[in-house]
Structure 1
Amino acid sequence: MQTFPLRGEYIQLIQLLKALNWVEHGAMAQYVVEEGLVKYNGEVDYRKRLKVRTGDVVEFEGQQVKVI
């Protein structure tokens, strides 16, 4: 599992996917979230603007990241 250092209180889920280079662009980030391909703390979450905070774990295509 990789880690992502958070700068600030939170990062939106679609921004995190782009920052990790797990998707090529914002439209793709929105698509994978809308299609239920992303897990947030072990559960599928469809909110594109979800606020990911310290301690949260995001999963996509067999990859995991813990926000620190």
Structure 2
Amino acid sequence: MPSITFTLAGEFIELNQLLKLAGACDSGGAGKALVAEGRVTVDGARETRKTAKIRAGQSVVCDDWRIRVVAG
């Protein structure tokens, strides 16, 4: 499973945008679809909110991608 460290520029990033910027999908819309299909977890719990606010210290898993979010 590829592991990516994503450096946060502000206080938070919306989940669908994080998936796009980390390279797990091609667009924010595709990120929303991944969440809607139940393929995304945040800190080990399935996340159903497409625009959930992801903050530093959280870990997101989508299919074969693991994204660790750190403060910038």
User: Into which bin does the TM-score normalised by the smaller protein fall?
Assistant: over 0.9
1:14 Cα deviation from its structure 2 partner: 0.3
Q: Which residue number corresponds to residue 10 of structure 1?
A: 12
RMSD (Å) for aligned C-alpha atoms: 0.9
| Superposition map of 1:16-55 within 5 A | 16-55=18-57
| Conserved? CA contact 2:35–2:48, under 8 Å | yes
Distance 2:21 2:42 in 1: 16
Higher strand share: 2
Deviations 1:5-36 (A, max 9, x none): 10110000000001011111122111110111
Other structure's SS at 2:20 match:
helix
Residues matched between the structures, number: 68
TM-score (norm 1): 0.93
Write out the 4+ residue segments of structure 1 that deviate beyond 4 Å after TM superposition.
none
Identity score, percent: 35
| Structure 2: segments with no counterpart, 5+ residues | none
| Structure 1: segments with no counterpart, 5+ residues | none
Instruction: Give the partner amino acid of 1:48.
Output: K
